[in-house]
Structure 1
Amino acid sequence: MRSDFFPTLTGKSLFRENELVYVNRSDELKQYNGIMHKHDFIEIAYVILGKGLHVVGDQKLSTKKGDLFIVNYDIPHGFFSDPVDGTEPIVYNCVFMPKFLDSSLLGNMYFQDISSSFLFKSIFPEESPKNADLRLKGTEYRDIGDLFHKMYEEYKNMNKGYLEIIRAYLIELIVKVFRLIDNDRQSNISTQNQQLVFQAVEYLRNNYNTDIRLEELAMKSFISKNYFSRLFKEVTGINFTDYIQNLRVDEACSLLKNTDMKVIDIANQVGFRDMKFFYEVFKKLTGKTPGEFRKG
C-alpha cells in the first residue's frame, strides 16, 4: 500500500502558533474519521469508548475500549466504524513533534532506550504488532486514561503553564506505556522465539571455549543482531556476553577444584585469551581470585 495515495495531516494545520503538541478527541476532528491518512508527527491514540477497526498500512485491527496505538509519521492509518453494527470508536489523540519533549532527556540513557524502542519503531517485521500496541483494562486503563484526560483538559483550558504540564504528563505517559509494552513483551514471547534462544544456549554450552560472536548466532537464527540480543535477554534474563562469561567461569571453577592444571592453562581452555581479563571476570563473579578459590 503506497503511502503517497493518502492525504497528509500536518502538524502545522493542527498546532497552535509556536506549539508542537495537539490533544483532542476523535469526535472533534470528524473530517479525518473513517478515512485513511498519514501525518508528519507522532501520534498516541487511545480508545476510550466504542469499538471498530483501526487500519494501519495493510493491517486491519479490531479495536475497542482500552486499546492504545502508537503511530509514527508517514504511516497511513485510520479509525473506522464497526462493520457489523456501525459503532464508532471514540479516541483520545495526543500528537506531537519529538522536539516538544524536554531536550535534557536526550542525554538520559533510559529515555534514549524509550526513544529507540517506542517513538521510533524498529523496521524489523518480527516486531510488528498484530493488534493494539497495548490492550489495557482495570487499573492500567484508568491510569493511562487519567493521563490523557488531564492532558486534554490542560490543552482545552489553556491555563498559565499548560504546555509545561502537558509536557510533564506526556513524559509520564511515554514512560508508563513503555513499561507496559515491555511487561507485555516479557509475558508474550512466542514459542518459536523461545526455541531460537534455547538452540543458541545449547550451542553456547557446547562451544563456550571458542570465539563466539553475537553476530554469528544471530545469522544462524536468520534475525538481526539487535533483535537477537534483546530476545536472548528476554528469555534468559541475562545478556549474551554475561551468559558466556558465566559459562566459562563455571567451568574454570570446576577445573580449579578437580584438577592440578595451571591457572593460565585453565583460562585458555575455557575460552579466555587475556589473563588480566580472566582475573577481572573471575573475581567479579566469584568474589575471589582463582588462587583463592582453589585454596578455599
Structure 2
Amino acid sequence: MNHLQLLLPGSLFWQPEFPMCVTREREFFSLAMHVHDFIEINYVAEGKGFHYIGEERLQVQRGDLFIIPIGTAHVYRPVSPHAAHELIVYNCLFSTELLHKLLKAHALPAELEQMLTEGNGEYRYFKDSQHEFRPLMEQLFKEHSLRLSGYEPVLCGLLLQLLIGLYRCEKQVHRPGASFHQLQNVFEYMAKHYAEPISLEHLAGMIPISVSYLQRLFKRTTGQSITEYLQNLRIEKSCELLQRSPLSVRDIASQIGYKDLKFFHALFKKKTGFSPYQYRKKANL
C-alpha cells in the first residue's frame, strides 16, 4: 500500500460562500492515500472493497459509514479493477467553519463537535443497521446535484439530521451496559481463540469500530488493555492446566500461546506470585 499522502483542500470541491459538497464516486486505484482540510462523512452505497485508514485496512460493504476528521489519511479501494467489483461511496464534505455555524445556531452538544473534529488519526465507523442514513445521503446528493432555489438551507437541514443521527449512534455505545454488550463477540472470540495470534484489526472489525476506538472502549469497559486481558486469560488457563493435567510446563506454555518459555515463566510469576512449578506443587498439596 502506497502511504504517500496527498492534501486535498476544500477549495477543490466548493465555492467559498458555501463550503459544502456532496458526491457519489466510483472508487478506483488511481487516487493516492490522502488527507484533507475538511470534515468528510462517507457512506458505502454499493459493492465491497477496502478502506485504508492510517495503518489500518478495513473490509467494507454497503451500509458502512465513516466520519473522517481533518488530517486523517485514508483512501478507498475496490476488490479489483474489474467492473463487476465496483465500489460506490457517497461523500459529504464540509468545512469546520460551516460546522461551527451550525453548532452555534442550533445549540448542538459539544460532544458532537469533538466527534467530528478529533485529530491524531481518529475516525468513527458505524453500520447503517436501521437503514436510516442511506436516504439522507441520497437526498443530500440529490439536493447538491440539482441546486434548485434554496438548496443551501435544505442541505444544512439534511446535514443536521445526519449529524444528530450519528451523534445518537455514538451515544448508544455509552449507555450503561452497552459497552459490555457491544464487546460481547470480542469476549467470546478471545475466550475461544486465546492461544492463537489475535489481530486487533480483526477484533475491531467484529463490531465494527476502529482499532484505536476499540482499545479505548475495551479499557473503559474492563479496566484492562486488550493485551492485559489476553495475558490474564492465558495465565488463568495455564493455572487450570497446571492443576488438572500432567502436561509439562513447556507444553502448557505452548498450548496457551507462548512459545517463549522464559517469557511465560516471568509473566506467570508476575501474575500469580509463584513460578509455574511452585504453583503446581502448591495446588497439589
| TM-score after normalising by structure 2 | 0.56
**Percent of paired sites with the same residue:** 24
Give the whole-Å Cα distance in 1 for the aligned partners of 2:119 and 2:17: 30
Q: Shift in Å at residue 8 of structure 1?
A: 1.1
Aligned partner of 2:166 among 153, 173, 177: 177
Q: Are 2:40 and 2:94, in contact at CA under 8 Å, matched by a contact in 1?
A: yes
Give the aligned partner of residue 78 of structure 1: 75
The 4+ residue runs of structure 1 with deviation greater than 4 A are 30-34, 83-86, 107-110
Q: Shift in Å at residue 102 of structure 1?
A: 6.2
Question: Is the aligned partner of 1:37 residue 2:34?
Answer: yes
Give the whole-Å Cα distance in 1 for the aligned partners of 2:155 and 2:29: 24
Q: Shift in Å at residue 105 of structure 1?
A: 2.6
Give the aligned partner of residue 88 of structure 1: 86
Q: Are 2:29 and 2:81, in contact at CA under 8 Å, matched by a contact in 1?
A: no
Equivalenced residues, count: 186
Give the aligned partner of residue 22 of structure 1: 21
Q: Shift in Å at residue 121 of structure 1?
A: 2.4
Give the whole-Å Cα distance in 1 for the aligned partners of 2:154 and 2:65: 22
Give the aligned partner of residue 133 of structure 2: 144
Q: Shift in Å at residue 182 of structure 1?
A: 2.1
| CA RMSD in angstroms, aligned pairs only | 3.4
**SS class of match (2:32):** coil
Q: Are 2:41 and 2:68, in contact at CA under 8 Å, matched by a contact in 1?
A: yes
Aligned partner of 1:59 among 50, 56, 59: 56
Give the whole-Å Cα distance in 2 for the aligned partners of 1:55 and 1:113: 26
Q: Shift in Å at residue 180 of structure 1?
A: 1.2
Q: Are 2:39 and 2:117, in contact at CA under 8 Å, matched by a contact in 1?
A: no
Pairing 1:170-209 to 2, within 5 Å after superposition: 170-186=159-175, 187-189=178-180, 190=183
Give the aligned partner of residue 7 of structure 1: 6
Give the aligned partner of residue 135 of structure 1: 127
Q: Deviations over 1:180-228 (max 9, x none)?
A: 122145434448xx9xxxxxxxxxxxxxxxxxxxxxxxxxxxxxxxx89
Question: Is the aligned partner of 1:153 residue 2:105?
Answer: no
Whichever structure has more helix as a proportion of its residues is 1
Give the whole-Å Cα distance in 2 for the aligned partners of 1:102 and 1:154: 22
* Letter in structure 1 aligned against 2:104: L
Give the whole-Å Cα distance in 1 for the aligned partners of 2:63 and 2:174: 18
Task: Name which structure has the greater RCO, CA cutoff 8 Å, separation 6+.
Answer: 2
* Letter in structure 1 aligned against 2:126: L
Q: Shift in Å at residue 83 of structure 1?
A: 5.5
Larger radius of gyration between Structure 1 and Structure 2: 1
Change (3 A) 1:184 1:54: same
Give the whole-Å Cα distance in 2 for the aligned partners of 1:185 and 1:79: 29
Change (3 A) 1:108 1:162: closer
Q: Shift in Å at residue 134 of structure 1?
A: 0.3
**SS class of match (1:26):** strand
Q: Shift in Å at residue 21 of structure 1?
A: 0.3
Pairing 1:139-288 to 2, within 5 Å after superposition: 140-141=130-131, 143-186=132-175, 187-189=178-180, 190=183, 231=220
Which stretch shifts more, 150-159 or 9-18?
A: 9-18
Q: Deviations over 1:142-189 (max 9, x none)?
A: x21111111111100111110111011101100111111221454344
* Letter in structure 2 aligned against 1:52: G
Return 5+ residue gaps in structure 2 as ranges.
188-215, 222-285
Give the whole-Å Cα distance in 2 for the aligned partners of 1:168 and 1:71: 20
Give the whole-Å Cα distance in 1 for the aligned partners of 2:75 and 2:171: 25
Give the whole-Å Cα distance in 2 for the aligned partners of 1:157 and 1:9: 24
Q: Are 2:2 and 2:32, in contact at CA under 8 Å, matched by a contact in 1?
A: no
Give the whole-Å Cα distance in 2 for the aligned partners of 1:104 and 1:93: 19
